[in-house]
Amino acid sequence: MNNHDKYFKGQHENEEFICFFRPHWIVLLKEFLYFIIFVIVATLSIININLLKTIIQNNAEFQAFFIMGFLLGTIFIHRFFLKLLNHFVDIGIITDMRIIDHKKTLFLRDTMDAIDMLNVQDIEQRGEGLLPNFLGYGDINIYLAASASVKVFHYVPNAKFHFRCISRQKELRRMNRETKASDQKMENTDALDQQRQMLMEGLKGLDRTVN
Residue with more model confidence, 45 or 185: 45
pLDDT mean across residues, the chain: 84
Q: Which residues contact 103 (CB under 8 A, 6 or more apart)?
A: 90, 109, 110, 111, 112, 113
> Is residue 110's pLDDT more than 80?
yes
Q: In this predicted model, what pLDDT tens digit does every residue of 12-35 receive, in sequence order? A: 888 889 999 999 999 999 999 999
Q: Chain centroid to CA 96: how far?
A: 14
Q: How many CB atoms lie within 10 A of CB 166?
A: 23
Q: In this predicted model, what pLDDT tens digit does every residue of 163-186 receive, in sequence order? A: 999 999 999 888 888 787 666 766
> Is residue 73's pLDDT more than 50?
yes
> Is residue 40's pLDDT more than 60?
yes
Residue 208 has φ and ψ, to the nearest 5°, of -65, -40
Q: How many CB atoms lie within 10 A of CB 65?
A: 13
pLDDT given at position 157? 94
Looking at residues 134-161, what average pLDDT do you find?
Answer: 90
> Is residue 6's pLDDT more than 80?
no
Residue with more model confidence, 24 or 200: 24
3-state secondary structure 45-96: HHHCHHHHHHHHCCCHHHHHHHHHHHHHHHHHHHHHHHHHHHHHHCEEEEEC
Provide DSSP, 141-206.
EEEESSSS-EEEEEEETTHHHHHHHHHHHHHHHHHHHHHHHHHHHHHHHHHHHHHHHHHHHHHHHH
Give the torsion sign (CA, 116, 111, 156, 161). Answer: negative
Looking at residues 70-87, what average pLDDT do you find?
Answer: 91
**Domain 1-22+90-211 CATH assignment equals 2.30.29:** yes
Q: Which residues contact 122 (CB under 8 A, 6 or more apart)?
A: 142, 143
pLDDT given at position 188? 61
Residue with more model confidence, 74 or 9: 74
**Residue 127: enclosing H or E segment and its boundaries?**
none
| Contact in structure between 152 and 167 (CB atoms under 8 Å) | no
Of 105-114, 139-148, 149-158, 177-186, highest mean pLDDT: 149-158
